[in-house]
Amino acid sequence: MDSVQHTTTTGVDNRKMAMWIVIASECMLFGSLIINYIVQAARVMKLEGIGVIKPSQIINVPITSASTFVLLMSSVAMVFCLKGAREGNVKSFRTWSFLTAGLGAIFLGFQVYEFTVFYLEGLGMTTNTFGSAFFTLTGTHGAHVLVGVVILLTAGIWSFYKPLDKDKHSPVIETIGLYWHFVDVIWILIFTLVYLFVLAPK
Amino acid sequence: MAHATSSDAEHKHTAKQYIQIAVILAAITLFEVIYPYATNSIVALHGFYYPLLGILSLVKFFLVVNFYMHLRDDVLLIKQIFFSGLIVAVCLYVALYFLFRIFI
């Protein structure tokens, strides 16, 4: 019995099943972080006074739109990475896995830039509850992207040393892809709830 | 006991379909970015701000989940697992919304 034809009572590859369970639990994690952000941001929006940094004053939608576009395109690259693995085309798999990781790294670059600008403008992790909620939410998401980038780079580099077996390895790449797409869909929600909603006309 | 690791339907998606989904995602994102600035000058659009952006966000969410994560082609058990987590997250959102009676 090799690593592909393992015993399963669910009819689904165990690794894929495990990843979907992780994704379901991550939905709950990010759900709680997003609602926490909304509550804290709404409270800060109602505050008056000199020195109160409000979300609508500090959030830069054009920059974040660019990073959102980059992350969306990384999902497309991930799809072609999996397609390459399924076809046993190591060159295609390697190219798309590095491209996906590269786009993820660019997204992280945007996030580092944004965090730096916010910090220089006076909003830090401990400035107020809005700052804490914002950095916790976007930082947790960024950490997930970083993990995905490391996994994709590892898979790409690994393909230089081991032959790609489409039957044996494509389920593993599919599991990595599920994780990457999930990181993308969570950002889709964060982008709307955290960045676009604060620009609502008053 | 051997099982397929992914459904046959997943393999039916072509590169063209993936590109089409990507174009739709990019177009929606572009609209989302332009819309907040457009609504500032058009008062009639103010009431649609939250619902429209919320719906567009959900459209993008389910496009990625269904076509890139292949959830629509997957077995019922996977769908149940995913939606159980999603439903708990939405319930938490609704509960805290009513608890704090607060929204941006």
C-alpha to C-alpha distance for A16 and A107, rounded to whole angstroms? 26
A vs B, Cβ pairs < 8 A, gives 161
Q: Check if the interface score ipTM surpasses 0.90.
A: no
Higher pLDDT, B36 or B20: B20
**How far does B93 lie from chain A, in Å, by closest CA?**
6
Burial B43-82 (b: 16+ CB within 10 A, else e): eeeeeebeeebeebbeebbebbbebbbbbebbeeebeebb
Render pLDDT for B48-99 as a digit per residue (tens, 0 to 9): 888 899 999 999 999 999 999 988 888 899 999 999 988 998 888 888 878 8
Interface subset of B 38-57, CB within 8 angstroms of A? 39-40, 43, 46, 49-50, 53-54, 56-57
pLDDT of residue B4: 44
Please give the share of chain A, as a percent, with pLDDT higher than 90: 60
User: What is the average pLDDT across A127-144?
Assistant: 93
pLDDT of residue A46: 75
Q: H helices of A47-89, where?
A: 55-58, 61-86
Q: Which residue is closest to B62 within chain A, CA to CA?
A: A185
What are the structural domains, with CATH classification, of chain A? Answer: 14-198 (1.20.120.80)
**How far does A53 lie from chain B, in Å, by closest CA?**
15
Q: For residue B11, what pLDDT band results from cuts at 50, 70 and 90?
A: low
Q: Which residue is closest to B25 within chain A, CA to CA?
A: A72
Q: Which of A20, A73, A78 sits opposite B82 (nearest CB)?
A: A20
Higher pLDDT, A12 or A141: A141
Question: Which segments of A37-153 are extended strands (E)?
Answer: none
pLDDT at A200 over 80: no
Q: For residue B37, what pLDDT band results from cuts at 50, 70 and 90?
A: confident
Q: For residue A94, what pLDDT band results from cuts at 50, 70 and 90?
A: very high
Interface subset of B 66-95, CB within 8 angstroms of A? 68-69, 74-75, 77-78, 81-82, 84-86, 88-90, 92-93
Is the Cβ pair B104, A42 closer than 8 Å?
yes
C-alpha to C-alpha distance for B63 and B74, rounded to whole angstroms? 15
Nearest to A170 by CA among A79, A107, A104, A109: A79
User: What is the average pLDDT across B14-21?
Assistant: 88
Q: Which residue is closest to A179 within chain B, CA to CA?
A: B69
Q: Which of A13, A73, A199 sits opposite B5 (nearest CB)?
A: A13
pLDDT of residue A113: 95
| DSSP codes of every residue in A14-39 | HHHHHHHHHHHHHHHHHHHHHHHHHH
Q: For residue A138, what pLDDT band results from cuts at 50, 70 and 90?
A: very high
User: What is the average pLDDT across A145-170?
Assistant: 92
| Number of neighbours of residue B34 by Cβ within 10 angstroms | 11
